Amino acid sequence: MGEKLTEGTLDLASAGNLLQLDFSAHTRSTGLYYLRIEGANVRQVLRIMRK
């Protein structure tokens, strides 16, 4: 539907080597979701399928 579900920022210096994100509260319906990650040296769009 093209709606923004949530957004936020994260200080990766304090995140360590593993970053775990929980979107279960925002992706209740079955479907395809897009996660956009942007930083100083990275721009990535990930597709997430909720079954």
- 34 forms beta bridges with 47
Residue with tokens 């399928």: 49
User: What local confidence, expressed as pLDDT, does residue 23 receive?
Assistant: 80
User: What local confidence, expressed as pLDDT, does residue 24 receive?
Assistant: 82
Name the token pair of 35.
């996660």
**Distances in whole angstroms, Cα of residue 43 to Cα of each of 25, 36, 46:** 24, 7, 10
User: What local confidence, expressed as pLDDT, does residue 15 receive?
Assistant: 63
pLDDT, mean of residues 2-21: 78
| Per-residue pLDDT band at 16 (split at 50, 70, 90) | low
Q: Which amino acid is at 37?
A: I
Q: Which residue has the higher pLDDT, 16 or 28?
A: 28
Distance CA 23, CA 49 (A): 12
> Residue 45: is its pLDDT beyond 90?
yes
Is this prediction's pTM over 0.75? no
